[in-house]
Each structure stands twice: as C-alpha cells, then as structure tokens.
Amino acid sequence: MTRPWTVGLTGGIGSGKSAVAERFAARGAAVVDTDLIAHALTAPDGAAMPALRAAFGDGPIAADGSLDRAAMRALVFADPAARARLEGILHPLIRSESARQCAAARTPYVMLVVPLLVESGDWRTRCDRLCVVDCPEALQIARVQARSGLAEPQVRAIMAAQASRAERLAAADDVIDNAGPLETLDAQVDALHGRYLGLARR
C-alpha cells in the first residue's frame, strides 16, 4: 500500500500525544490515532470482540458487548501473558486499519499516533520521522490521575509496560517538550509543522 510521508508521534501514557496531535490536525495534517482505532475495534460490534470473547471468556466483556476496559486494564497490566494475548489479537487489526487510513489520507503528510511505537512491531518502518512528546514521569502520573482517577500504582503498572523516557528520547528525531502549560505547545508545533511540510515535499 503506498502511503504519504509519515511522522510517527509517540510518548508515554499521559505525555500529551492527543494534545499535540490535535494541534497538528488544526494546521492541516491528517491524524491517524491507533488508540482511537483500538477503541473502535472493541466497541459493542467491534471487529475484535469475537476473538477477545473466545480468548478471555465473558469476564472482561461489558453488558452491551463492548470491552470492559477497566476489567481488561486490571488484568493485563498485572499479567504479561494476558497482555501478550490481548496485543496478539488487537495489534494486527490496528496495524491493518491504520495502514488503510494512512493510505487514504490526502494531506501533505500524515501524523501516525502510536503509544507503543518504540516498543513493538514494525511501526518505525512505516514512519519517515519520529516525534516524541516528552514530560517528566511525575507529570505523566499527575495528568493521568487528574484525567481518569486511576490510583498511582495503576498508572505506574502501565508505565512499566512501556519504554522508558530515556529509550524514547534516544529514538526521537524531534522532541516536543510538554512539561509546561498547554500554550507552550503551539510554537513548537508551528515550527515542526513547517519543517514537516518542507520534508514531505522533497
């Protein structure tokens, strides 16, 4: 499948990927968000639900037939084998749907948002450039807690399943610093958007 010039956007949980992606979208980039794709796959009639029910039974399935996200979160971030089983079902579906959305984009470049870009699969080979959203771990935890009410140990268990801040920064071509207020993102996104338009045209 041919694809447009693509920037991979990643960062740890709560680092600010969505906040950054919406600013690139406002400037005209197509955004393909793998978290949104994962949510659609696990909605009541989602394409992954039959396989998830077969693999996990009815325990993590909600009454409406969608994935019970809190139940699955509690299961997989306490049990690496269960997480591998979940990812084995979802990741191939996420990969094919995201490739389809990237190929369908009609913008100068695509921003492909993948929380596990550094950790898993062939994501890096699908991106021409890697942009990391970065903030200190204490801020990630505080922001996730403020958003979701998760207890700190739960947030830490999710972070333990992800690459470290240093690993992500080592892989980055570009880094967006999200340690300050949200307004500080705009000038950084402006500068990178200009650079990406130039690189995509070459």
Ligand X SMILES: CC(C)(COP(=O)(O)OP(=O)(O)OC[C@H]1O[C@@H](n2cnc3c(N)ncnc32)[C@H](O)[C@@H]1O)[C@@H](O)C(=O)NCCC(=O)NCCS
Ligand Y SMILES: Nc1ncnc2c1ncn2[C@@H]1O[C@H](COP(=O)(O)OP(=O)(O)OP(=O)(O)O)[C@@H](O)[C@H]1O
Binding residues: 14-19
Residue with tokens 């997480």: 83
The answer to whether the Cα torsion of 92, 49, 36, 73 is positive or negative is negative
Interface pick for ligand X out of 30, 72, 127, 155 (rule CB under 6 A): 72
Which is closer to ligand Y, CB of 75 or CB of 116? 116
3-state helix, strand, coil in the chain (%, to 5): 55, 10, 35
Residue 35 makes contact with ligand X by CB under 6 A: yes
In angstroms, what CA-CA distances link 154 with 52, 88, 109, 150? 23, 22, 36, 6
Contact characters 110-129, ligand X, x per CB under 6 A: ----xxx-------------
Residue 13 makes contact with ligand X by CB under 6 A: yes
The DSSP secondary-structure symbol of 177 reads: E
**CA angle at residue 21 from 8 to 13, to 5 degrees?**
75
| Contact in structure between 159 and 140 (CB atoms under 8 Å) | yes
Residue 9: CB atoms within 10 A of its CB come to 28
174 contact choice in ligand X, ligand Y, none (CB below 5 to 8 Å, kind-dependent): none
34 contact choice in ligand X, ligand Y, none (CB below 5 to 8 Å, kind-dependent): ligand X
Least distance between ligand X and beta carbon 137 (Å):
13
**How far is the C-alpha of 20 from the C-alpha of 143, rounded, in Å?**
15
Residue 94 makes contact with ligand X by CB under 6 A: yes
Scanning residues 41 to 60, which ones bind ligand X (CB under 6 A)?
Answer: none
Which is closer to ligand Y, CB of 188 or CB of 200? 188
116 contact choice in ligand X, ligand Y, none (CB below 5 to 8 Å, kind-dependent): ligand X
Least distance between ligand X and beta carbon 184 (Å):
21
Q: Applying CB under 6 A, which residues contact ligand Y?
A: 11, 13-19, 35, 115, 143, 147, 178, 181-182
82 contact choice in ligand Y, ligand X, none (CB below 5 to 8 Å, kind-dependent): none
Residue numbers in the known binding site for ATP are 14-19
Hey, what's the torsion of the CAs at 194, 26, 28, 190, to 10 degrees? 0
- Name 202's Cβ contacts closer than 8 Å, sequence gap at least 6: none
- The site for ligand X (CB under 6 A) is made up of 13, 34-35, 38, 67, 69, 72-73, 76, 83, 86-87, 90, 94, 114-116, 158, 161-162
